[in-house]
Chain A
Amino acid sequence: CSFMNLTKYPARINRQTSTFNSAADPRKMRRIIAEDPEWSLAVVPLLANLCLQNIVKNFKEKPIFDELLPGHKAFVLEKLSTSLSLSVTANLISDEAYWKRCCESRWGLSDVSEYGHSWKRMLFERHLENIIELFIPDVTDPKSVLDVVPQCRNYVRRLKISQLLPPIREPPKFEEDDSSDSASDMGHEGPSMDHFDFSILLDKLTNLEELQLVYGVKGCGMNFEWNLFEFTFRDCESLAKALKSCKSLKVLRIQQSKVDDDKCRVLVSSLLDHPSLLELDLSHNLIGDRGARAIGKLLGRSHLKRLAIYNNQIRGPGAQALSHALAKNPSLVALNLRLNRLADEGGQAVAQALLKNQNLVSLHLGANEMTEPTATAMANALVHNSTLRNLSLACNRLGVDGGKVLEEGMSHNSSLVECDIRLTDMSLENEYCIGQILRTNQSRACRRQTQDTGATQ
């Protein structure tokens, strides 16, 4: 009977048990405690209850859980402390309520929907992320990371590492100039690694699907030093090795990590023919034309669906290499080249590629210093391409003539739903016309969609 009560009012019991010791004396004075659903006149508690309480008390030394009856399990789960070591509970307890309590006790309120509505997954992912983010090379023992692996291996699907700490070095060594110190110190005998080495971890996480890395330090404030934001070649090589070993990876994001051409080539070479990679994000880096060429090669030898390399330093030749790969690629759906410097040379190449490509849906070419020739090429491409739905050409000086040509091209297109042409110096008239065409396209697409849904319903 008391068990039933337990399962019915978990919250109250928690409160009651926590205040039990402190309120012991005044309770003794009372004859009936009406507000406590667990309370009963019987002075002697049930033996089962006593046993369960003992189990809870000694759970760390002797985890008895699977052998219990379902009702007893619920009781134990209610009472178990959230501070128990994960090595005990990880593979033993699957109850979400317990893990929710753990998460809330650690991080307060949090959104579980990001973690596939699994509190357990959330706990282990964030736990591992915390450990890695606070890992200091040569100071922290790598075993501290590896010890967690057997427990969280089955639950970790995504790692969002927002910072990676560098090794502790003597400050005087880095007083020189800011821009070119990356290569000069490499010869010096330094620490065994520059950041956390993922090659020891990734091959053990068999369920890992998403990896997001930032080689940098969060919130350094006034202690800023350039070397805090350093992605060294050694890091790059170890990361490349790790990526090659992780076959389940689907999404890879390396942002704001100063990935230059050489590192990009190293990373790409490790990702060639990867069996499951679907999305690659190398935005906010320093990738130039050679890196872009490498990425173009990757496009030819992978099943990538989304590629984001915005805010890099890709110029015409790199864009040409990319568009050459894009023309033949059968899988890519979204491409983001915002804030590069493709210029007309690159813009025209991309437009040429659009003539052949039949699966790209979204293309972002904003802020790429493109002008009228690109507009004419793009207009031509829009006439022939019927798969592209989203296009952004914002912040390019297409000019009035470019606007005219683009409007003409748009008038022959029926698939484009969105076209961002803000700040392109074209006339308002053209902008309005293009907007009208887009609206008709939208309504048409909307109608088609309703028809489709109607058909499916």
Chain B
Amino acid sequence: METLRQETDEAGPSIGSENPDERIAARRLRIAARNEAKKRQELGSNSQEDTEIKEVRMSQKKVEQSEKRMAKLQADGTELVTNILVAADFRESKRRAEMEEARRLRIEKLENEAKSSLEKFEEITQKWTVAKAKQIPQDLRDALISQQILCGQLLEDKNKVIIELQQELKASDDRYVKDLKKHTEEVDLMIERLQEQIISLKKSYREELDLVESTFDEERRTLLADNRMKWEQQRQRQSDRELELLLQRMQQVEEHELQLQRLRLDNTKECNTIKAKLEMDVQILEQQLQKMKATCQLNQEKLEYNFQVLKKRDEENIITKSQQKRKITRMQDILNNLKTKCSNQEKQSREENQSLTDDYKRIMQQYKDMQRKMRHFAAVDAKRLEDVWLMNEAEAKALVRQALEIDRLIHEQQLGLAWTPPPLTVMEQPGPVQPRNRIQPSARQAAAQALVRREAPGEERELEEQTDGNTVEVPGGPESTGGRMDQKTVKRLLELLCDEMGFLIESKLLKLLSPLEKDERSLIKLDSIFSALAIESEEDVYKMADFFMKYKFQQKDQAEQHSSVSNQGETAEQKDSDLIHPNDVLRALRTFTALYCKPRDISSRQLSGIPELEGRDDSEDGACWESLATVVPEPKLKVWSTLEAALEKYHFVLTERSKLVNETQHLKQQNSELRMLLHQYLNSKVNTELAIPPTQVMKLDPE
């Protein structure tokens, strides 16, 4: 079995590997051929491609041939080797068949034997029962002997079988040994064959390799020869061409040499002339050089001197620079100090400012308070004044009345004259002079408003003005505007204003005004214009008109000036010409507002809240009181003084008289009293008791 396995193991790979080996060999050869072909391709030129291909084909054929041969050789060799294996297999299978057959026969034989022996055994056992029945010893012995013989036969049979089997075993042992020997022989044979085959294969491979190589060599040689020939041809051609070129070149060289010679000659000539010229130049230049040297020397000295000077200056500069630097540092210090100071100052001033603003605020507050107080006190004072006034007036009036009454009494009683009362205008005034003055500005404001109204109605109002304007108005409003112009000019002026100053009126207002009458419209327009110009009072209006007139006069020639104020009766045209030109209105108005409006504005603002304290003057008061004082005239006073003197005398007499009367009366009274006292004394009880009654003494009295 061992050997069998070895055989199979050794034979196994050869069967399997037969093909692959072949394949590998074939591939190797093919690759070699290809490499060769590639080399040749690289070497050879294109013109020889055809022959090359042919040659390659030749070599390929050769390679294929050798491949085939080798494959055949290998196959033969493997067959030779595997023959042993196959033979062994065959023998083994044959042996197995034989063994099986033998075993079958043996088993049959054994079975037969077993059957016969069983029969025999049964016969013996039967005979045992028969023998048991036998009584006679001889019979028994005979039976026993026969039994013994039978048993012996049985045993013999068995022994025979055993011997046969043992013989068979021995035979098979022998055969095993023989088989083993044969196997070893076969193995040896196989190894021998393998070695042989290896050797032969090696040899044939080498031969084939040589052959293939020789073919390749030949191919290569032919190729080389071809290529060499070609190479030679090419080289020949090349050398011919080179020779030709060389000749050409030599010719050219000769030509060039000639040319060179010519050029050289020309050049030398030229060179000589140039040389001469250049030498001349050199001389001139040398002279120049000398000059230059001299100047150079001079310059050098100058420069040295300059250099020295500059050096000095430089030193000075350095010193000044250092000074400057020091100064700078100092300045820097100062600057820093100043900066710090400045910052301090700033801080301080800021604080101061802060405190001042605070103060200001506080003072403003105080001022306001003061104003408020002042207003309050003014009101109170006014009130008090009025009260005091009224009181004093009442007192004065009472006194006057008393005086008048007394006068009347004097006249009627003392003088016996008819008494006529003096004109008592003063007495009729109800309040103090001041209240009457205070009413006046309100009336003026109303008049300012009325002025606008007055403007609208037009002529009749104007007429009214003209008629009683001087009586009524003069004492009231126009004290300040002394020489005021007449109403007509004012009206014209206002109309002019109304037309020219349209831009001061709001466009909305204009729209609203459109349905109204002309006069009404102009009135409202004027109203708005005045409000825009901050003209509030009538006085302002007149002031403005006055200003306009003046302005016009300024504008116009002095010669043309004539009393426009007085000669108002002249034609309207002249008035128109007298009036300011419409184009100048705006300018005039601007100057007017610039001049008047602002200061007045402020003052009026300030005053508007407070009742006009300053507006009140004391001049009238004195007159008023004077009038009160002078109710009784001077002659009457003289009368009174004389009368007084007379009356004084009369009075004196009367007083004397009354005194005397009184004295008498007194004395009379004293008398009566004394009388009463005496009476009392006399009538008293004490008197009785007294040793001497007074009555006795007093008896004299009644006497």
Contacts and interface: CB of A to CB of B under 8 A. Distances in A.
A369 interface: yes
A423 B82 CA distance: 12
Contacts of A450: 26, 30
B87 A423 contact: yes
A395 B86 contact: yes
Contact of A423 (B4, B27, B86): B86
Contacts of B97: 369
A418 B23 CA distance: 15
B518 interface: no
Contact of A417 (B1, B19, B83): B19
Nearest to A366: B89
A353 interface: no
Contact of B90 (A310, A423, A442): A423
A417 B4 CA distance: 26
Interface string A331-357: 000000011010000000000000000
**Residue of B22, B23, B87, B89 with highest tally of chain A CB at under 10 A:** B89
B5 A284 contact: yes
B96 A338 contact: no
Interface string B26-39: 11001000000000
A102 B26 CA distance: 40
A165 B111 CA distance: 39
A206 to B, nearest CB: 30
Interface string B1-22: 1001100100000010011001
A395 B30 CA distance: 38
- Majority secondary structure, B binding face: helix
A453 interface: yes
A255 interface: yes
B28 to A, nearest CB: 12
A339 B93 contact: yes
A339 B86 contact: no
**Residue of B8, B90, B93 with highest tally of chain A CB at under 10 A:** B93
A422 interface: yes
A397 to B, nearest CB: 10
Interface string B631-662: 00000000000000000000000000000000
B90 A339 contact: no
Contacts of A390: 15
Contacts of A311: 4
Given A422-B83, A450-B30, A310 B8 contact: yes
B172 to A, nearest CB: 12
Contact of B89 (A284, A394, A446, A453): A394
- Majority secondary structure, A binding face: loop
B174 interface: no
Contacts of A369: 93, 97
Given A369-B93, A450-B30, A256 B1 contact: yes
Interface residues of A, number: 25
Interface in A391-419: 394-395, 417-418
Contacts of B4: 284, 311
B26 A420 contact: no
Contact of B26 (A255, A310, A368, A446): A446
A395 B90 contact: yes
B86 A255 contact: no
Nearest to B27: A453
Contact of B86 (A422, A449, A453): A422
A367 B1 CA distance: 16
A338 B89 contact: yes
B81 to A, nearest CB: 12
Contacts of A418: 15, 18-19
B5 A255 contact: yes
A368 to B, nearest CB: 8
A417 B22 CA distance: 13
Contacts of B1: 256, 284
Interface string B78-121: 01001100110110110011000000000000000000000000
Interface string A224-251: 0000000000000000000000000000
A341 B101 CA distance: 14
Interface string B430-450: 000000000000000000000
B92 A339 contact: yes
B38 to A, nearest CB: 13
B47 to A, nearest CB: 28
Nearest to A394: B86
Contact of A366 (B18, B22, B23, B86): B86
Contacts of A422: 79, 82-83, 86
B96 A341 contact: yes
A408 to B, nearest CB: 24
A329 to B, nearest CB: 21
A129 to B, nearest CB: 18
A193 B587 CA distance: 144
Contacts of B19: 417-418
Contacts of B79: 422
Nearest to A310: B8
3 A-B pairs with the lowest CB-CB distances in the bound complex, closest first: A367-B93, A395-B90, A367-B89
24 contacts: A256-B5, A284-B1, A339-B89, A339-B93, A366-B86, A366-B89, A367-B90, A390-B15, A395-B86, A395-B89, A395-B93, A417-B19, A418-B18, A418-B19, A420-B82, A420-B86, A422-B79, A422-B82, A422-B86, A446-B23, A446-B26, A449-B23, A450-B30, A453-B27
Given A339-B93, A394-B89, 6 more contacts: A395-B90, A420-B86, A422-B83, A446-B22, A446-B23, A450-B26
Interface of A: 255-256, 284, 310-311, 338-339, 341, 366-369, 390, 394-395, 417-418, 420, 422-423, 442, 446, 449-450, 453
Interface of B: 1, 4-5, 8, 15, 18-19, 22-23, 26-27, 30, 71, 79, 82-83, 86-87, 89-90, 92-93, 96-97
